[in-house]
Amino acid sequence: MRIVILTGAGISAESGLSTFRDKGGIWSRYDLKDLATPEAFARNPAFVHEFYNMRRANVRKAKPNPAHESLARLEKNYPGEVTLVTQNVDDLHERAGHSRVIHMHGRHGSALCAECGHRWEAPEVMRVEDPCPACGRPATRPDVVWFGEIPYHMDEILGALARADLFVAIGTSGTVYPAAGFVAQARETGSRTLELNLESSAQTRLFDETRTGPATEIVPQWVDEMLA
């Protein structure tokens, strides 16, 4: 069986990283139009860098939780194909031991030159003035996908979804496209669909099954079932 798993901010919530849209989440404290669009970065790059430098520091202090760890166990021990797609820019899946993670919204660990597209390992503190190691221009930005930009690895993700027998969404509100549309795409090609989330989401009605609860409980339970 081929499994495609999509994770969102909810899987890292119990590691102490804020989600976006829950009560007290990132977008209740900040206006996304000031931070998560290329226009915001063009207007005030220092403010955007300050926000991402703070979040990068929080990620460094966080540890993977049993949900990340159980998915790494699934990748290692499941006899079929497991494709993990994450919307998260943290590296908790990798630090839990997952060997191949598709980061569709980029990574905190990467810097991107807004001028020439060169990528390099992010320093702890990033500033727009930092020169690009390839072209030398001062156009350093976080290597993350903002609203209006095209998510990464879409061909690979859509290919995996088209071949999937089971699509599982974990800890995502199902409000941000194209990821929010994956469940509909998976259904179209005959995949079974399962949602694991704290509560029902914007896409719940499209899933064959929804299990609600904290990721650290319901994800390891599901992985145990898959490996039994």
Contact between 95 and 65 under an 8 Å Cβ cutoff? The reply is no
Near ligand BJW in 92-151, by CB under 6 A = 105, 144-151
Q: By CB under 6 A, is residue 82 in contact with ligand BJW?
A: no
- Minimum CB distance to ligand BJW, residue 208 (Å): 18
Question: Which residue in 68, 93, 98, 105 is the catalytic one?
Answer: 105
- Site membership for ligand BJW, residue 208 (CB under 6 A): no
The answer to the question of residue 66 lying near ligand BJW (CB under 6 A) is no
Among 58, 62, 214, 226, binds ligand BJW (CB under 6 A): 214
- 34 contacts ligand BJW (rule: CB under 6 A): no
- Catalytic residue flag (residue 105): yes
Closest by Cα among 177, 142, 139 to 48: 142
Q: Is-contact 91 110, C-beta < 8 A? A: no
Are the CB atoms for 36 and 21 separated by under 8 Å? no
Phi-psi region of 62 (alpha: psi -120 to 50; beta: other; left: phi over 0): beta
Is there binding between residue 6 and ligand BJW (CB under 6 A)?
no
CB of 181 to ligand BJW, least distance (A): 8
Shortest distance, position 150 Cβ to ligand BJW, whole Å: 4
Report which residue's Cβ sits closest to ligand BJW.
10
Choose, by CB under 6 A, the member of 154, 184, 188, 221 that binds ligand BJW: 154
Give the 3-state secondary structure of residue 106. Answer: strand
Phi and psi torsions of 18, nearest 5° = -65, 145
Residue 25 engages ligand BJW in binding (rule: CB under 6 A): yes
Concatenate the DSSP letters of all residues of 185-222 into one string: HHHHTT-EEEEEESS--TTGGGSSEEEES-HHHHHHHH
Q: In whole angstroms, what is the distance from residue 212 CA to residue 53 CA?
A: 33
Residue 91 touches ligand BJW, criterion: CB under 6 A = no
User: Do residues 94 and 101 touch, judged by C-beta distance below 8 A?
Assistant: yes
Residue numbers at the binding site for ligand BJW (CB under 6 A):
8-10, 13-14, 19-22, 25, 36, 87, 89, 105, 144-151, 154, 171-173, 175-178, 197-199, 201, 214-215
Residues involved in catalysis: 105
